[in-house]
Amino acid sequence: MSGPKDGHPSPGDGATGRATLTAVRPSPRPPAPEPPRRPGVARWAADLAMGARFAVNGGRESWARTIMTAVGVGLGVTLLLFAASVPSMDSGRNERTNAIAAFGFGEEPKPGPGTIRLAQANTDYGDKDIQGMVMAPDGDRPPHPPGISGVPAAGEMWVSPALKTLLASDEGKLLRERLPYRTVGVIGDSGLSGPAELRYYAGITQKQFDHVISDYRIDRWGAQDTSGDDLDPALVLLVVVGCVVLLLPVLIFIATAARFGGERRDRRLAALRLVGADTHMTRRIAAGESLFGSVLGLAVGAALFLLLREAVGGGSMMNLSFFTSDITPTLPLALAIAVTVPASAVVVTLIALRAVTIEPLGVVRNATPKRRRLWWRLLLPVLGIGLLLPLAGGFGAGSSGGDLQTYQAAAGAVLLLIGLTALLPWLVEAVVERFGKGPVPWQLATRRLQLSSGTAARAVSGITVAVAGAIALQMLFASVEAQNTEETGQDPNRAQLILNAKVDNGAQANDAFARLRATKGVGSVLGITLDTVSDARSKKKDPADIPTDSLTVADCPALREVARITSCRDGDVFVINGSDSYVAPEDAFVKPGAQINLSVRDDGLPSPDKKKLWTVPGSATKVRPREDPTGATSSGILATPGAFDIADLPDPQAQAMIRLDPKVPDATEYVRNASASIGPALDVIQLSGTSQSSEFQTIRNVLFIGATATLLLIGASMIVTTLEQLRDRKRLLSVLVAFGTRRTTLSWSILWQTAVPVVLGLALSIAGGLALGTLLLKMVGEGLAVDWAGLAMMTGIGAGVIVLVTLASLPPLWRMMRPEGLRTE
């Protein structure tokens, strides 16, 4: 019998007769090689690149989210690029302004072949400022202004392109009468501060300069750069806070745009977990999708910037205009934008996904979320207040630490405003969780807010920061405006216009007054003629040391405007009381019976050798001066035409106080045209009770332009955000309609869902804005002063933007409620 087969033991094997099993050990298998570990940077790059590919190849839904993100980021990038262009815009404008400056300060050069005689001939036309200059060369090599090829001959002028267009239009009909010169050329860009500047250079004869009150000579054009002059600390603070208020909502919106489509994207990421991706890899892939959208947004923003740059480059707003070549972002700021925007998209996405659990079978988002912590949200505004409080009453004091104080103020304002943004989601969550019963639209809205209040809070965070900053800026603006507004002492109720003219004799003065009285729109003209007289008995040889005073000749109504006269008739003479005279008491010589010298030299100083005497009548009445409509007071001798012939004045100057007919709308323009016929460089002074510094006016105009752009961005961004949220809930809306929910119910629910965060955001912005405004007022040494009208206006604007955005979102909302939204693939 054969033995056991197949390796099975025989029953008799072994000492005990038991069956035994022989264990056969398998040969050891070599361990599987571990995949090479990629370095951290390479792993990040690969995962981000994979996310970017998903954004491109993920179908229509991925492209919809990517386009939404690109449009949102692109709007913000456009405004950031304009903000980054401000330094180059300011630099280019200052360089050209300094190049075309012709200052007559310092020692004036003597007439020669290389000098030119100038006089300012600026004028106003409606609300437009026109910069003009008349000139006459002294020799054959005069310097010419930048932008023109030579000095204009007498009767000719060079004009800027904008002025040429104005003169050729129907609007410039009255202005053509004021500039009686033949246009021979157009000023180039190098001779203009901006493309919309209204400027002209006109040539006149040397004889015509005899009728110019103030002229001077130069031998070169240009002035030393004064752009670095220190601003008032309050104006610096206004600029700093303005930049923070205008740019912070832009940055917040860019961060919000990076989270568009978050809910649908998170559900798609579950598929990646199913095929083996871990949590960290999944988050990096999601960040890659946002990164691609933000990079595409950079391209969109750059394209919009280039398009708007061409439009802005030729336009003008509030007397500010810039050439297209000026609107160029500085390289460091442009690089910062190019790096920060994509990086912020990655960081925001990673932070947002920390609150989401992505599992292979789905996204755990509908579970009860953790309550938002309050302590770190309060820490941000507290730190901001901590930075601002030490500056109270000492901002800008002294030169030391000026830049540090500026950075500290900017950082404090940023932290305080960002703190409001951080507090808003907590506030919305804390309030909506207490909402209960109510109508169906209210329940739908509140339930949605309770499930995802963060999305609604992010939608209004930009407007919250903008309104809070605007309230604070309005409070500071009112204070700075008061500091930079001065009382001029002028009284526009007594006379609206003043004209000063240099005339050769009394006949020319009377002729000038007659022309003005015959001008259309003039109600009355009070004309005075005055000249400088000196002490005839002075023994001083130096003309500069001889005491001088003024002699004013006018009729009684005009004299009553410059002195307190009770009784006056033609032939009377008055003397300003010595204590009210500008002449020092020891040099006072004007009194009844005194002899005065009417002769002057060619340089306007008294002539001690050649004398033309006149004796003040002993019957002259002493009177006290009165401020004239310009706020100035007169001194010396006041004489009526019957007592002194103005033909005896050797170097007279005529002044006309003009009252207008309010029924004639263009009366001021008619008077300005009449002044051009009297002298080539005369202009009319329009009286005003107050005046503001030019620096404040420029800053105010720039802030207004920036605020307008930011408000438009906020409105556009909120429309994009609302459309993205509606698109994300398209299927849910269609399901509700399919189950019989009325469209009006859903429309009201969307309105309530928007209104609740808006109301809470506006309440938070009012509190934060008042706090920031109070701190800013303390920094400039001002007490608390709330502009309640401005606060109401800012709040109303913020609420109005929300209402308009909600109305704009209703048509797409109705389209998304169609049953076609239930289709799926």
For the residues of 539-602, what is the DSSP string, one character each? Answer: ---SGGGS-EEEEEEE-HHHHTTTEE-SS--TT-EEEE-GGGSSS-GGG---STT-EEE--B-T
Q: Could you tell me which residues are beta bridge partners of residue 185?
A: 158
Q: Which residue has the higher pLDDT, 177 or 543?
A: 177
Mean pLDDT of 453-461: 71
Q: Can you give the pLDDT at residue 487?
A: 74
Q: What is the pLDDT of residues 732-767, one digit of tens each?
A: 777 777 777 787 887 788 778 777 888 888 889 889
Asked if residue 551 lies in contact with residue 530, where contact means CB atoms within 8 angstroms, the answer is: yes
Q: Which residue has the higher pLDDT, 408 or 132?
A: 132
Q: Can you give the pLDDT at residue 394?
A: 67
Q: Can you give the pLDDT at residue 228?
A: 47
Could you identify the residue written with the tokens 């804005």?
769
**3 state DSSP class of 123:** strand
DSSP 603-624: TSSB-SSS--EEEPPTTPEEEE
pLDDT band at 564 (very low <50, low <70, confident <90, very high): very high
Q: Which residue has the higher pLDDT, 419 or 819?
A: 419
> Which among 709, 702, 55 has a CA at the least distance from the CA of 319?
702
Q: Which stretch, 7-11, 94-98, 471-475, 781-785, has highest mean pLDDT?
A: 94-98
Mean pLDDT of 240-261: 72
Q: What is the pLDDT of residues 163-176, one digit of tens each?
A: 999 999 999 999 99
Give yes or no for residue 389 having a pLDDT over 60.
Answer: yes
**Buried/exposed 149-174: b ≥16 CB within 10 Å, e otherwise:** eebbbbebbbbbbbbbebbeeeebee
As given in the structure block, the two tokens for residue 655 are 């002044």
Q: Can you give the pLDDT at residue 766?
A: 87
In sign, the C-alpha dihedral spanning 774, 776, 781, 786 is: negative
Asked if residue 409 lies in contact with residue 241, where contact means CB atoms within 8 angstroms, the answer is: yes
Give yes or no for residue 705 having a pLDDT over 90.
Answer: no
DSSP state of 400: T
Q: Which residue has the higher pLDDT, 720 or 369?
A: 720
pLDDT band at 499 (very low <50, low <70, confident <90, very high): very high
DSSP 419-471: HHHHHHHHHHHHHHTT-----HHHHHHHHHHHH-HHHHHHHHHHHHHHHHHHH
Mean pLDDT over each residue of the chain, to the nearest integer = 80
Distance CA 517, CA 656 (A): 10
CA dist list (Å): 430 to 434, 453, 760: 7, 10, 11
pLDDT band at 819 (very low <50, low <70, confident <90, very high): low
Q: Can you give the pLDDT at residue 119?
A: 92
Asked if residue 319 lies in contact with residue 129, where contact means CB atoms within 8 angstroms, the answer is: yes
Give yes or no for residue 1 having a pLDDT over 50.
Answer: no
Q: Can you give the pLDDT at residue 821?
A: 56
Q: Can you give the pLDDT at residue 242?
A: 77
Distance CA 718, CA 305 (A): 20
Give yes or no for residue 381 having a pLDDT over 70.
Answer: yes
For the ranges 359-368, 452-461, 496-505, 795-804, the lowest mean pLDDT is seen at: 359-368
Q: What is the pLDDT of residues 61-89, one digit of tens each?
A: 678 778 877 887 888 888 889 888 888 88
Distance CA 704, CA 717 (A): 20
To the question of pTM greater than 0.75 for the whole model, the response is no
Mean pLDDT of 201-221: 89
Q: Beta strands 548-554 and 637-639: pairing type? A: parallel
- Per cent of the chain over pLDDT 70 is 80
Mean pLDDT of 517-530: 93
Q: What is the pLDDT of residues 278-330, one digit of tens each?
A: 888 888 888 888 888 889 989 999 999 999 888 887 777 666 788 988 899 99
pLDDT band at 146 (very low <50, low <70, confident <90, very high): very high
pLDDT band at 210 (very low <50, low <70, confident <90, very high): confident
User: Which residue spans within 216-298 are E strands per DSSP?
Assistant: 216-218
As given in the structure block, the two tokens for residue 122 are 């600026």
Q: What is the pLDDT of residues 571-629, one digit of tens each?
A: 999 998 765 666 666 667 888 888 888 887 766 677 777 788 899 999 999 999 998 89
Give yes or no for residue 113 having a pLDDT over 70.
Answer: yes
Q: Beta strands 198-203 and 128-137: pairing type? A: parallel
Those residues with Cβ within 8 angstroms of residue 802's Cβ, 6 or more apart along the chain or in another chain: 460, 463, 718, 754, 755, 758
Output Rg (C-alpha) for the chain, integer angstroms.
40
Q: Which stretch, 28-37, 263-272, 528-537, has highest mean pLDDT?
A: 528-537
Q: Can you give the pLDDT at residue 15?
A: 38
Within 729-742, residue ranges assigned H as helices are 730-738
Distance CA 651, CA 660 (A): 29
Angle CA(45)–CA(250)–CA(353) in degrees, nearest 5? 40
Q: Beta strands 128-137 and 182-186: pairing type? A: unpaired
Asked if residue 346 lies in contact with residue 48, where contact means CB atoms within 8 angstroms, the answer is: yes
Distance CA 726, CA 456 (A): 12
In sign, the C-alpha dihedral spanning 229, 234, 236, 242 is: negative
Q: Which stretch, 51-60, 63-72, 593-602, 651-660, has highest mean pLDDT?
A: 651-660
Q: What is the pLDDT of residues 623-636, one digit of tens each?
A: 999 988 988 888 88
Roughly how many angstroms between the first and final C-alpha of the chain, as a whole number? 72
Give yes or no for residue 537 having a pLDDT over 50.
Answer: yes
Angle CA(239)–CA(781)–CA(390) in degrees, nearest 5? 80
Report the amino acid identity of residue 142.
P
Mean pLDDT of 336-349: 87
Q: Can you give the pLDDT at residue 200?
A: 96
For the ranges 401-415, 642-656, 779-793, the lowest mean pLDDT is seen at: 779-793
Give yes or no for residue 800 having a pLDDT over 60.
Answer: yes
pLDDT band at 802 (very low <50, low <70, confident <90, very high): low
Q: Can you give the pLDDT at residue 790?
A: 66
Could you identify the residue written with the tokens 């506030």?
427
Distance CA 379, CA 385 (A): 10
Q: Can you give the pLDDT at residue 14?
A: 40
Q: Can you give the pLDDT at residue 137?
A: 93
Those residues with Cβ within 8 angstroms of residue 32's Cβ, 6 or more apart along the chain or in another chain: none
Q: Can you give the pLDDT at residue 20?
A: 40
Could you identify the residue written with the tokens 């040429």?
164
Q: What is the number of residues in the chain?
A: 825
As given in the structure block, the two tokens for residue 210 are 């005899």
